[in-house]
Amino acid sequence: MQSVAHHDQTRVLLRDRSLEKPKSKVAHSSIWAVAAYSAYFILALLQQHITHAVSIGFGSYADEAAHYLSGLMLRDYFFSGLKQSPVDYVSNYYLHLPMVAIGHWPPVFYLAEAAWMLVFGYTRADILVFIAAITALTSFTVCLATRDVLAWPGAFAMGGIVQAIPIIRWSNSVVMIDLFTGIVILWAALSLGKFLNTEKNSHAIYFGVLASLALLTKPAAACLALVTIPAILLVRKPRLLRSPALWGAALMVAAISAPWYLATWHLARYGSNGGPLGENLRLVAVGSITGVVRELNVVLLLFGAGVYLFFRKENRDGVRAVLIVLPISMVVILVLARVGLENRLLIPAMLPMIIVSADGVCWLSGYLRKSASFRAWRTCLVAGAFLLTYVAVTPVKVRWIPTDDGLGGMVSKILSDDNAPNMVMVAGPNGASDGRMIATLAESMRVRPGNIVLRATKVFAVTNWNGTPYSCRVSRPEQVVEELDTDGVNLLAIDTSPRWGKWRLHEQLLLEATLQYPERFQKIYSDDASGYALYRFVPKHQPTMPKAVLNDLKKKLELNPFSRSQDFDSKN
């Protein structure tokens, strides 16, 4: 009896010690977690400072202004007290600031962006802190996902590799949705992998929720649908194909995301470049290989080692199976979508490759996480060495525009005009130029929507999302002047900077009109260094603004974004 009692006392002591130890581990992990995220966040902000992200403005990419204005529109809608229906508010907002992208893209990113703006502000500087937080969260997620293999020091170095990737450094300096999409897809993939390992219903639910959020961020998240079956086969658990939890997650994704795509499919489909599927297959396949090699270079060696180690194991990890399949699924979706290929679209494929690379680091260091001889700092040195090597061999080119480029002065002139609110037409060589002017104007407005902004591309030309095909509605400068009279335009903002590329026909005719009719176009602001110029257009007859003109514009510009008979375009 004494031996039994003694044995029971020993079990109690061991249990108490086992309960105390995890508490210290949790505290230790929490310290590492806070320190890691803080370091990543500071690094992201530092990179923005180095790349002059605030002074770049909204012209780094044609979509950037649309992503900013969509979040700003939702922020203003919530701030207004939701007094109008969403469709009416979007239509009216687009009439005044015609670079709203919601409808072409799903709403989750814009909702998160609007929430940030409500709390922290809506200037470019404010929203870039939001982008930095996303970049830091991406690095932190990679750090957490590799911690079980490398421990905290090595995992911290792997997270640092994320912020060294050129396309992610670029994404950290612009208002784009690709990095946000990549992190949500990665979260969903990790949840699916944990379900394959544990078969717990909770992980299937997490996967369903995160996959829905990913699909409501960008259609590219459809790659998650192509991951499930190959990953299940790789871990040799075909019985999971009949799992009620997995099918429940699929039904959840359909129920949450399908209504949005059914309502906006007529808008989203304009993002396709079209063209033969075979030609797009060749373009994306070759472009994906060259893009990944250019972005990851030496990290691919570690990824290859990680894949090799995965297939050598008898008991294969579900998380690694999902992460290995995900890049291939992403490329397949890009082929089917026929949206062309840019390196930013490969971000969801690169993040899982970095996580799998941790196995290569562990193998290269000669230690395994669970072995008695494991030394966390040895793997940290190996991961750190690869990080330094990667940074050394990876060139980064950042195109930036000086802060004082004349646009601020032109916007101030527009907002201080005595005739405000004005009907302002903006004309630039492409969507990035138009968007830069419109977004800067919106950012500077105290009351939005405010001035009514027209895009010369919309009024004088017929073109689609990608700028092709292109058809000019006017053929002579006289027709340009007549159209401006009809639309009630009283200010014309022009960007003639050569940095944007060549002028199209309607823009050339507009510029010719300013030269042929100097009495109608009075230059009230110009900055020769930047190419910005502002004209006051003198109408032939005093316009009866705004009701009659606005009604005509609504018909001409087809403003209802949720009407299936109309083309709502935000990019070109």
Range in 175-189, 212-226, 408-422 with the lowest mean pLDDT: 408-422
- Do residues 173 and 398 lie in contact, with contact meaning Cβ atoms separated by under 8 Å? yes
CA distance 466 to 472: 15
Residue-wise pLDDT for 25-49, tens only, equals 556 678 888 899 999 999 999 989 8
Query: Given this model, what pLDDT does residue 330 score?
Result: 92
CA nearest 344: which of 501, 107, 167?
A: 167
User: Which residues have CB under 8 Å from 70's CB, separation 6+?
Assistant: 100, 101, 102, 105, 110, 113
Predicted confidence (pLDDT) at residue 151 exceeds the cutoff of 70? yes
CA nearest 497: which of 528, 540, 462?
A: 528
Range in 207-221, 408-422, 482-496, 548-562 with the lowest mean pLDDT: 548-562
521: part of which helix (H) or strand (E)?
strand 521-527
Pairing state between β 423-427 and 491-495: parallel
* Amino acid of residue 307: V
User: Which residues have CB under 8 Å from 273's CB, separation 6+?
Assistant: 280, 338, 339, 340, 466
Burial bucket for residue 289 (CB in 10 Å: 0-12, 13-18, 19+): exposed
What DSSP string describes 364-415?
HHT--TTSTT--HHHHHHHHHHHHHHHHHH---------S-SSHHHHHHHHH
User: Which residues have CB under 8 Å from 183's CB, separation 6+?
Assistant: 134, 137, 138, 141, 351
Query: Given this model, what pLDDT does residue 7 score?
Result: 40
The C-alpha torsion from 45 through 47 and 50 to 51, rounded to 10°, is -110
Token reading at 1: 């009896």
CA distance 287 to 348: 15
User: Which residues have CB under 8 Å from 233's CB, separation 6+?
Assistant: none
Q: Tell me which residue has tokens 């044609």.
A: 62
CA distance 8 to 184: 48
Range in 154-168, 236-250, 360-374, 417-431 with the lowest mean pLDDT: 360-374
458: part of which helix (H) or strand (E)?
helix 456-460
* Amino acid of residue 95: L
CA distance 208 to 205: 5
- Length of the chain counted residue by residue: 572
Residue-wise pLDDT for 504-541, tens only, equals 888 888 989 998 998 999 999 988 878 889 999 988 76
How would residue 376 be classed by pLDDT, with cut points 50, 70 and 90? Answer: low
What is the pTM for the complete model shown?
A: 0.85
- Do residues 174 and 68 lie in contact, with contact meaning Cβ atoms separated by under 8 Å? no
CA 439 vs CA 123, 213, 322: distances in Å: 10, 27, 39
Backbone angles phi, psi at 401, to 5 degrees: -110, 135
As a whole number, mean pLDDT of residues 311-338 equals 90
More confident residue, 367 or 203: 203
How would residue 401 be classed by pLDDT, with cut points 50, 70 and 90? Answer: very low
Cα angle 158-183-42, degrees, rounded to a multiple of 5: 55
Backbone angles phi, psi at 366, to 5 degrees: 85, 10
β-pair partners for 453: 424
Query: Dihedral sign, CA of 414, 416, 421, 422?
Result: negative
User: Distance from first CA to last CA of the chain, Å, rounded?
Assistant: 86
308: part of which helix (H) or strand (E)?
helix 299-312
